[in-house]
């Protein structure tokens, strides 16, 4: 079925496709815009037919493979109904019911003259043009979309820097400006710590940890994942860092990213050196010496980054706190180990946040030894097949290989739950780790879906005569729409062990599988 010149955002389409796939008798279903890329996907899936040849990129396609024509018709009908229905009873912002909505950024700005920020999350092929339109209208930009060419990113950022505008992204998932959570972000208080992060989840983890330590953040600026690559040169990181250096609200700076390209690291650290505000630098997996050389405070993990920044902001929490917590974790691990059988020796991390997977790998690097991953710290530990674990293993389920044509695991738990069951059936598995990310943008009730799955996985292992440990970290605050306390409680009731943060969860699991022995 072709629906001409009809546009819906991809989340809506994937939700509809998911509900079609759930219908009895439906083998496979797709609800997609008829782009070249989607056409290829449909052909691969055997969902392409000659009657779809007439569709153009502006048309919507609903394709169903079902047990019978009647079932297929029924599915198409349901798709039609779902597409016709308004996506939400609630309308955004100050718009009145039935009021006209602007069709372009320019027109929205004209109708709302005080507009200062554009949040853009359209499909990648359209994203750069929208970002240009926003910049030309004098707006700061958070570009959530990915699949924007690096040339476009560079050109957009150069223009933005020249005009004193923020160009956060492409692929910028999180920012907190003036206390407002943007994209995937948590509700945290305002305070003295300014964060610039190339990783959205990194910003979420550090800002929520600070919040739990009683510290707020002044601004949380996202740069997008590629900002520190050689080609982009850290334009937004440097710009954000300068802005926070001169921001009177910011007392302590925290930089979070994977290790930048060497030339970029040099530039960033040169900027750090000029800072008269204390600065914590967390280059996850990078070397510490140059950071110390720049007069800044290095942090190996997100947790350390948050704690160090807190200490510098005058909170009486120091690394001693992490050491004390670690001692407690060792005790806890020893107790938990008691229920394991002899053959249970591996840990399996099933992550929705790539940066959280990386942080765990860093923790395990010194505790556990080799951990395989689809995002390994060292190339030889790359998983042959990301859909099957081997040995100790951490999988980032938010990687492209898992998310083509489906929602991100922070929104849709189906894939992760399936993988959880797969791991539960493996008699060599001792402990499974899950990260749960709360806040705006994320699933409205992760514990409501993951909780029963955790209980189910443990029950399955029990049937096999084993105790299965599930360790969970929850990134969030009590101010988040899901509520940290409620989520933790539900997860614990389901039999999960909830650690204080992602790094702590990794350490706990590490002690469980190593029995507390250092390498």
Partner 1 sequence: VSQETISTLFGSKLSVVNVGLRSFAESLADQGVAVSDVDWRPPRVPYLRVISSGIDIEAANAEAVARIQQARPMLVGMGIAREAIPGYEPPPGKRALILHAGPPITWDRMCGPQRGAVMGALVYEGLAADENEAAQMAARGEIAFEPCHHYHAVGPMAGIISPSMPVFTVRNGAFGNLAYATQNEGLGRVLRYGAYGSDVYERLRWMEEVLYPTLKAAIEAIEVGIDLRALIAQALHMGDECHNRNRAGTSLFLRALTPALIRTCPDRERAAAVFEFIQGNDHFFLNLSMAAGKAALEPAEGIEGATLLTVMARNGTDFGIRMAGMPERWFVAPAGIVDGLYLPGFSADDANPDIGDSTVTETAGYGGFAMACAPAIARFVGGTPQDALEATLEMYEICYAEHEQFTIPALDFRGTPLGIDVRKVAQTGILPRLNTGIAHKEPGIGMVGAGVLRAPEQCFVEAFESICR
Chain residues 324-363 in contact with partner 1, contact rule CB under 8 A: none
Total residues in contact with partner 1, by rule CB under 8 A: 74
- Nearest-angstrom CA–CA distance, 236 and 198: 9
Say which residue the tokens 């489906």 belong to. Answer: 406
Site pattern 377..416 for partner 1 (x: CB under 8 A): ----------------------------------------
Subset of 453-482 contacting partner 1 (CB under 8 A): 481
Told to check if 119 binds partner 1 by CB under 8 A, we report yes
Among 180-188, 302-310, 354-362, 402-410, which window interacts with partner 1 (CB under 8 A)?
180-188
- The residue within the footprint of partner 1, chosen from 24, 36, 50, 92 (CB under 8 A), is 92
Told to check if 126 binds partner 1 by CB under 8 A, we report yes
- Nearest-angstrom CA–CA distance, 518 and 504: 16
Told to check if 108 binds partner 1 by CB under 8 A, we report yes
The two tokens of residue 448 are: 């409501």
Of 214, 392, 378, 224, nearest to 309 (Cα)?
214
Among 72-80, 158-166, 266-274, 285-293, which window interacts with partner 1 (CB under 8 A)?
158-166
Judged by beta carbon, residue 91 or residue 418, the one nearer partner 1 is 91
Q: Within 10 Å of residue 460's Cβ, how many Cβ atoms?
A: 15
- The residue within the footprint of partner 1, chosen from 28, 249, 449, 478 (CB under 8 A), is 249
Say which residue the tokens 């958070």 belong to. Answer: 142
Taking CA atoms, 504 is separated from 4, 115, 423, in Å, by: 52, 41, 22
Told to check if 117 binds partner 1 by CB under 8 A, we report yes
Strands (E), 145-289: 167-168, 174-177, 180-183, 190-197, 217-222, 252-257, 279-283
Told to check if 58 binds partner 1 by CB under 8 A, we report yes
Told to check if 118 binds partner 1 by CB under 8 A, we report yes
Q: Give every CB contact of residue 459 below 8 A, 6+ residues apart in sequence.
A: none
Strands (E), 99-216: 117-120, 140-143, 167-168, 174-177, 180-183, 190-197
Site pattern 439..458 for partner 1 (x: CB under 8 A): -xx-----------------
Do the Cβ atoms of 356 and 500 come closer than 8 Å?
no
Subset of 1-30 contacting partner 1 (CB under 8 A): 5, 7, 9, 11-12
Judged by beta carbon, residue 443 or residue 458, the one nearer partner 1 is 443
Subset of 127-146 contacting partner 1 (CB under 8 A): 129-130, 133-134, 138-140, 144-145
Do the Cβ atoms of 41 and 32 come closer than 8 Å?
yes
Judged by beta carbon, residue 185 or residue 496, the one nearer partner 1 is 185
Nearest distance from C-beta of residue 484 to partner 1, angstroms: 17
Q: H or E element: which one contains 357?
A: helix 354-367
Nearest distance from C-beta of residue 96 to partner 1, angstroms: 9
Subset of 410-439 contacting partner 1 (CB under 8 A): none
The two tokens of residue 5 are: 């010149």
Taking CA atoms, 256 is separated from 18, 223, 416, 451, in Å, by: 35, 10, 26, 31
Among 61-69, 175-183, 323-331, 376-384, which window interacts with partner 1 (CB under 8 A)?
175-183
Strands (E), 290-359: 297-298, 346-351
Among 104-112, 347-355, 377-385, 393-401, which window interacts with partner 1 (CB under 8 A)?
104-112
- The residue within the footprint of partner 1, chosen from 99, 316, 323, 519 (CB under 8 A), is 99
Judged by beta carbon, residue 110 or residue 388, the one nearer partner 1 is 110
Say which residue the tokens 């396609």 belong to. Answer: 61
């Amino acid at each position: 079925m072709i629906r001409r010149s009809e546009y819906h955002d991809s989340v809506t389409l994937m939700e509809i496709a998911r509900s079609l796939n759930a219908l009895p008798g439906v083998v496979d279903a797709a609800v997609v815009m008829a782009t070249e890329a989607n056409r290829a996907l449909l052909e691969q899936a055997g969902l392409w037919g000659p009657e779809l040849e007439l569709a153009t990129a502006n048309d919507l396609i609903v394709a169903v493979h079902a047990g019978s024509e009647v079932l297929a018709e029924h599915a198409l009908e349901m798709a039609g109904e779902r597409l016709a229905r308004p996506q939400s009873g609630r309308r955004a912002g100050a718009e009145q019911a039935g009021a006209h909505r602007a069709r372009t950024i320019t027109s929205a700005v004209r109708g709302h003259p005080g507009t200062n920020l554009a949040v853009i999350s359209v499909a990648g092929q359209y994203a750069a043009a929208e970002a240009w339109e926003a910049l030309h209208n004098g707006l700061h930009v958070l570009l959530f979309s990915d699949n924007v060419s690096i040339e476009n990113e560079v050109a957009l950022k150069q223009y933005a820097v020249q005009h004193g505008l923020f160009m956060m992204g492409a692929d910028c998932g999180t920012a907190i400006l003036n206390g407002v959570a943007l994209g995937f972000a948590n509700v945290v208080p305002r305070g003295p710590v300014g964060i610039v992060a190339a990783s959205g989840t990194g910003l979420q983890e550090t800002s929520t940890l600070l919040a739990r330590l009683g510290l707020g953040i002044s601004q949380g600026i996202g740069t997008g994942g590629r900002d520190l690559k050689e080609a982009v040169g850290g334009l937004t990181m440097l710009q954000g860092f300068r802005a926070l250096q001169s921001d009177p609200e910011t007392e302590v700076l925290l930089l979070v990213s994977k290790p930048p390209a060497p030339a970029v690291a040099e530039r960033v650290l040169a900027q750090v050196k000029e800072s008269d505000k204390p600065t914590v630098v967390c280059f996850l997996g990078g070397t510490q010496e140059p950071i110390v050389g720049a007069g800044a405070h290095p942090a190996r993990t997100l947790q350390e980054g948050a704690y160090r920044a807190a200490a510098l902001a005058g909170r009486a929490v120091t690394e001693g706190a992490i050491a004390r917590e670690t001692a407690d974790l060792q005790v806890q691990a020893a107790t938990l180990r008691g229920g394991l059988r002899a053959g249970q020796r591996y840990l399996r991390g099933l992550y929705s946040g790539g940066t959280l997977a990386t942080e765990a790998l860093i923790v395990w690097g010194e505790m556990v030894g080799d951990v395989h991953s689809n995002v390994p710290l060292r190339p030889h530990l790359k998983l042959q097949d990301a859909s099957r674990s081997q040995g100790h293993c951490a999988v980032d389920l938010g990687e492209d290989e898992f998310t083509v044509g489906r929602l991100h695991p922070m929104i849709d738990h189906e894939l992760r739950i399936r993988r959880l069951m797969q791991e539960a059936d493996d008699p060599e598995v001792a402990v499974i780790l899950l990260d749960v990310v709360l806040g705006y943008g994320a699933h409205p009730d992760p514990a409501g879906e993951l909780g029963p799955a955790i209980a189910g996985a443990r029950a399955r292992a029990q049937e096999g005569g084993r105790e299965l440990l599930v360790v969970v970290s929850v990134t969030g605050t009590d101010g988040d729409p899901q509520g940290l306390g409620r989520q933790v409680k539900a997860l614990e009731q389901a039999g999960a062990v909830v650690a204080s943060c992602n790094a702590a969860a990794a350490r706990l699991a590490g002690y469980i599988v190593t029995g507390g022995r250092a390498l």
